Amino acid sequence: MGEQNSSTVLTSVRPVPSWVVPLVIFFTSRLYSTTLLVGMFFVAVAQGLPFASSRISTSVLAYFGSWDATFYRRIADVGYPTSLPMEHGQVLHNVWAFLPVFPGIVRAVMTVTGADADAAGVGVALACGAAASVVIARLLEPRVGRTAALWVVAMFDFGPVAFLLQLPYAESLFCLLIFASLWALTAERYLLVTIFGVTAALTRPGELALPLAMSILLLVRFRTWRKTGSWMGWRLLAAIVVTTAAGFAWPIIAAAATGNRNAYLATELSWWTGFVGTPAFVPFSPWFLMATRYLDVAGIVLVVVIIAATAWWISRPSIRALGPEIVLFGGGYALYLVAVFLPQQSLFRLLLPLTPLLGDPMLSQSRKARWVLLAAGAALQPVAVVLLWFLGYP
C-alpha cells in the first residue's frame, strides 16, 4: 500500500517547465553582475576615481547608461536628426550609427510606465537577456542535450561582458532575435525567421550573416527539396530575399532622412578616427589596418592566425552536432566581423551572437572545458568592468 501511495505521489509531481532553469541561471548571474557594477561604482565614488565616460548625473542608473547607451537614450528622447554633425569636413559621432528597434521599445516603455530612458533601458535589456537565455537552451537542447545546453546558458550569462545584458545597450535584444531566428530556421518556420530577422536587421548591424547562412543552406538542400516537390525551398528563398533587403535598409533610410547618401557609412567611420585616422572603407581591410597600425608585420600574422583558428574550429567534425543552421550562421557572422568591423574593445560584446557555437560537444560536454570557460568568464567580468568604465569604453 505504501509503495502504491509513493508511486502515486511521484507520478503526480509535474516536471519543471523547460524555461525555469535558464531563468534561474540568468537571474543568478544578474546578482553577480549587479554586485560587480554597483560595488565598483561606489568604490570609485568613495575614492574619487575618474570615470572614462561623462555622465549628466552621478547616479547608479546614469553609470549604467554610459557610453553608447547615451546615444540610445537620445534616440528614445528626441529621435533622429535630419542633418549630420560636422567638424572640419568630417562627420562626428552621432545617433545614426544606432538602429531604431531598441530605443523604440525603450520609448514605448517610457510612455507606458513613466520611467526615464535609463531605467526603461535597463528593464528592456534585462527582459531580453532573460528571454535570450531561454531561447539558447531551447535551440541547443535537441542537438547536444539538456545539460550541455544549460552550460552554454551559464557561459552566456556569466561571460566576460555579460554585464551588458542589463545595460541600456541593444546587445541582449539582438542576441534574443538572432537566437530566435536560428531556432525558427532549424524548425523550418520561415515566416518566423523573416519576422525575427527583419527586426534584428533594425536592431544592430550583423543580421546579414543570417541570410548568408540561409543562402548556403538553400544550395545544400535544393536537390532534396526538388526531388520531393517540397515548397520549403521557395519559402526559404523568400526569407532570404526579405532579410537581405532588411539588412541593407538602414543606410538607405539614413541617406533619405539626412540627404547624405553616405550618412551611415560616414557615421560608422567616425568611430575609426581615434584608432586609424580617416582611411577609405575597403571590405576585409579593417583588421589588417588595425593590426599593422599597432603591431606592424606581427599584426598581420596575428590576424591570419585568428582567422585560421576560427575556420578550423567551425569546420571541426564535432561542431556538426549543432546542425548546419547554427554553424553556417557562426561562420557568416565571423566573416561579417572580419569584413566590416574595426577590431577594438567593442569586439568582445559583438561576439555574443556566436554563443550557440559553445554548444560544440568538444566544449559543452567536457566537464573540464565547461568549468574552465565558466570560471574564466566570471573572473574576467570584473576586469572588463574596470577596463571599460575607468580606462576605455564598452
The span from the CA of 305 to the CA of 323, in Å, is 26
Taking all residues of the chain, what is their mean pLDDT, rounded to a whole number?
Answer: 90
More confident residue, 202 or 53: 202
More confident residue, 346 or 337: 337
Report the share of the chain in percent with pLDDT over 70.
92
Does residue 9 carry a pLDDT above 50? no
Reported as a single tens digit per residue, the pLDDT across 170-198 is: 999 999 999 999 999 999 999 999 999 99
The pLDDT value recorded for residue 365 is: 85
Helix (H) or strand (E) holding 91: strand 90-91
Of the candidates 108, 132, 117, the residue with the CA atom closest to the CA atom of residue 26: 132
Once rounded to an integer, what is the mean pLDDT over residues 283-296? 93
* 90: alpha, beta or left? (left if phi > 0; alpha if psi -120 to 50): beta
Residue given cell 528593464 in the structure block: 123
Does residue 291 carry a pLDDT above 80? yes
The span from the CA of 18 to the CA of 51, in Å, is 41
17 φ, ψ (degrees, to nearest 5): -55, 145
Does residue 390 carry a pLDDT above 80? no
The pLDDT value recorded for residue 226 is: 67
Total-model pTM: 0.93
Report the share of the chain in percent with pLDDT over 90.
74
Reported as a single tens digit per residue, the pLDDT across 234-271 is: 889 999 999 999 999 999 999 999 999 999 999 999 99
Does residue 7 carry a pLDDT above 90? no
The pLDDT value recorded for residue 166 is: 94
The span from the CA of 180 to the CA of 194, in Å, is 11
What are the sequence ranges of the domains in the chain? 19-351+360-391
Amino acid at 383: V
Instruction: Report which DSSP code applies to 390.
Output: I
Q: Residue 101 corresponds to which cell in the numbers above?
A: 528597434
16 φ, ψ (degrees, to nearest 5): -70, 130
The pLDDT value recorded for residue 25 is: 97
The span from the CA of 383 to the CA of 394, in Å, is 12
The span from the CA of 171 to the CA of 349, in Å, is 8
The pLDDT value recorded for residue 50 is: 72
Per-residue confidence band for 60, with pLDDT thresholds at 50, 70 and 90: confident
More confident residue, 300 or 61: 300
Buried/exposed 313-351: b ≥16 CB within 10 Å, e otherwise: bbeeeebebbbebbbbbbbbbbbbbbebbbbbebebbbb
Does residue 2 carry a pLDDT above 50? no
The span from the CA of 140 to the CA of 42, in Å, is 39
End-to-end CA distance of the chain: 63
Residue 206: how many other CB atoms lie within 10 Å: 20
Contacts of 338 (CB under 8 A, 6+ apart): 284, 286, 287, 307
